[in-house]
Amino acid sequence: MSCRIASFPILVLAFSTGTALVQPAPAVFRPDVLEAMERRLEEAIAAKHIPGGVIWLEHRAQVWSFVSGSRSVDPELAPAHLDTMYDAASLTKTVATAPSILCLYEDGKVDIEAFAARYLPRLAEYGKGRITVRHLLTHTSGLAPVIPRDEPWQGAEAALEIAFRSPALTEPGAEFRYSDVNFILLGAIVQSVSGLSLDEFARTRIFEPLSMADTGFRPAPALFSRVAPTTREATGLVHGLVHDPVARLMDGVAGHAGLFTTAADLARFCRMMLGHNPGPGPAPLRRESIVLMSTVQTPDSFADRRGLGWDMDSAFSSPRGRYFGPRSYGHTGWTGTSVWIDPETDTFLIILSNRNHPSEKGRTESLRIDLANLAAQALLSFPEGFLPPEPVLAGIDVLAADGFAGLIGKTAGLITNRTGKDRRGNSTIDLFHAAPGVELAALFSPEHGLRGLREEAVPNEIDEATGLPIHSLYGDRNRPAAEDLAGLDALVFDIQDIGCRFYTYISTMGLAMEAAAERGLAFFVLDRPNPIGGLGVEGPMRQGAQSFTAFHDIPLRHGMTPGELARMFREERSLDLDLTVIPLRHWHRAFYLDQTGLPWVDPSPNMRSLAAAVLYPGVGLLEFMNLSVGRGTPTPFELAGAPYVDGDSLSETLNALALPGIRFHPAVFTPESSKFAGQTCRGVRIELTNRAAFRPVPAGVALAAALHRQHRAPLNFPEFRKLLQHSLTYEAVARQAPLPEIEALWNEDAEAFRKRRLPYLLYGH
């Protein structure tokens, strides 16, 4: 039995019988792809992965829904309908608990950055006092995944007692660990602060304003005929009761599970998340709160990216499929439910099933992925139907695909390091060495050497793998010598930069371009993405003479790729140079490296993550002072401190500035090498909460100013000038000028640079 329900515009149809209603698909969808979605759901039913289910696809206020199979096969066969109520499982976290916390946040009754023990004092027991509400919402608290059931217990109070008495597994903020305990505690915070149980609070503040009449905890017996059952246990069929055993022991109301809902009700909630209020009155949440829930709130160093409750990119992200964009988000439920929302296309996909019925053998992950891929392909709003996003190709990928065109018949030298790899991880050196018609005659290594591991001067060597000479560009000289270029027709540059003026690889490129121009050599740049995006331009321009950490007159964060900078260098330095840039394909200026699919390879020993690269234009400014910036620890540039620093005071001062996209936490660390090796340092750990909003240079300046104010004597502040290269900013920080006043010193120049760089950009503006 199946039903196809379409609408144009929104029409919600509820069924109490198995009668099929077939209407034409809304004009925003491809009918052939919708039919493929129907077939895929029915394949899953035929394979007994699920007994039945509902698909709800909505795009720009146009709805297509499809229902097939049974809500129950045990003890009797009963068809699924659009108004079937499903156990939402962990969708409870995102539809009830997180929104309830955000309501209290808007009321001024819950501070997301506060220690959770402020609201649940016993949570401070066993060393858990530094867990914040944010840690609970983002699954970074360090708490265990579940409340254990090794010994009998009953009731919500008993569950909380176990949570309070259980020590954390790791320090808060150290790692992502999906945990039901986090949301059990958040549900308890709702009750503690509001005086209402979670089910009552969510009903009055979320569900009723959104007219979600079929959504709630503990459905009444009169509704059981519409409720899809789950598994059969020794005590009988679980029907009308929450499937999750911990939530059941908590009498059916818990922050992590217990909600029952329908596809139509979930659609109302999703419309609110996209800014389309479906209720008769004001939306339950302000737009700012929805943004907090639906944008990345975990540190950039984490591979798992989460919002406040919602999932963006983690091991649980199967409902995203291949094609929904980097700004999309969603969540899954253990019972076979899922929601995925894509604000860029104004689209959401709801899948409801009871894959646990009649047993736990059902599976939905591949179904979720396939339906998500088809849903994206069904959107006619993309040009020529749906065009799957193409993978970003680095310059070396493009060059190899084109058969090394332009280099055939040439003898080349290659300037590269360990970041010189194609999309599949093959070394650029190996690709050149094997390329027919190209003679690779010499290698040139930048700072940190060909393998990217050296912290000292780089010697001339012989490459063991190829037998080629390796000429150092970091030691006695920083540019190729004439004798090193003898016999070459071309120099090729393939190194991953990180988008900061004082990171020396772009200086190496510029100096090599000058040497190539003097010798009449062609120069090729195999372009690579700016890993921290190509939109941000921040900080002062270089003042004073050229140096190896300030080769050209550009801001601290320039927002350009190496190929674009090479075009600027040639024109603005009047180089008589045959320059060829092999451009990226399918790269967008808004992309960070982790949105390209290209592999992250540490470009230098202490540049170990994309988070470090994002922070580096600000935090890196400080490292010549008497201060550790985390070198010699597992998280360089995510720490700042010294033996003399008061970390509590420093973090409090910096957090009071409310800098966008960042939080500071007191930290104690001991570098194993570099500055203060073996000494206990105190300071701050820097947490990226929203990298799109974060501005590294103002943050670095604010950090320098706070340190100067609190620890002027031991800091050796004059060394701040070394990488800053801007006397007006240095003087303003020294006299403790307000941050907006300091930024005003360079904002005009930065805006002028935005216009100046336009002729050299290759990937839009």
Q: SS3 for 293?
A: helix
- The alpha-helical segments, DSSP class H, found in 130-260 are 133-137, 156-165, 180-194, 198-202, 245-249
Residues 323-369: tens digit of each pLDDT: 888 889 999 999 999 999 999 889 999 999 999 999 999 999 889 99
Per-residue pLDDT, 325? 81
Residues 518-532: tens digit of each pLDDT: 999 999 999 999 999
Residues 207-258: tens digit of each pLDDT: 999 999 999 999 999 999 999 999 999 999 999 999 999 999 999 999 999 9
At 141, phi and psi to the nearest 5? -75, -25
Per-residue pLDDT, 4? 53
- Look at phi and psi of residue 115 and say left if phi exceeds 0, alpha if psi is from -120 to 50, else beta: beta
Per-residue pLDDT, 304? 87
Per-residue pLDDT, 591? 82
Q: How many residues does the chain have?
A: 765
Per-residue pLDDT, 66? 96
Per-residue pLDDT, 6? 47
Could you give the strand order of the β-sheet that contains 681-688, starting from the edge strand earlier in sequence?
Answer: 639-642, 681-688, 662-669
Q: Average the pLDDT over 45-68 and give the result.
A: 95
Per-residue pLDDT, 389? 55
Has residue 542 got a pLDDT over 80? yes
CA distance 746 to 537: 11
- Six-digit token string for 415: 């300037």
Q: Average the pLDDT over 557-586 and give the result.
A: 97
Q: Average the pLDDT over 502-517 and give the result.
A: 97
Among the listed ranges 436-440, 507-511, 688-692, which one has the minimum average pLDDT value?
Answer: 688-692
How far the first Cα of the chain sits from its last, in Å, is: 52
Residues 49-70: b if buried by 16+ CB within 10 A, e if exposed:
bbbbbbbbbbbeebbbbbbbbb
In 3-state terms, the chain is what percent helix, strand and coil (to 5)? Answer: 35, 15, 50
**One-letter amino acid for residue 150 of the chain:** D
Average pLDDT, the chain: 92
CA distance 439 to 54: 60
Percent residues over pLDDT 70 in the chain: 95
Has residue 597 got a pLDDT over 90? no
Residues 705-751: tens digit of each pLDDT: 999 999 999 999 999 999 999 999 999 999 999 999 999 999 999 99
Contacts of 83 (CB under 8 A, 6+ apart): 14, 15, 16, 214, 226, 262, 264
- Label the pairing between strands 461-462 and 469-472: antiparallel
Per-residue pLDDT, 8? 35
Contacts of 475 (CB under 8 A, 6+ apart): 457, 458, 459
Q: Of the ranges 300-304, 459-463, 491-495, 597-601, which is most confident?
A: 491-495
Please choose, from the candidates 714, 706, 701, 667, the residue with its C-alpha nearest in 3D space to the C-alpha of residue 686. 667
Contacts of 68 (CB under 8 A, 6+ apart): 1, 2, 3, 38, 41, 42, 45, 52, 53, 80
Has residue 1 got a pLDDT over 70? no
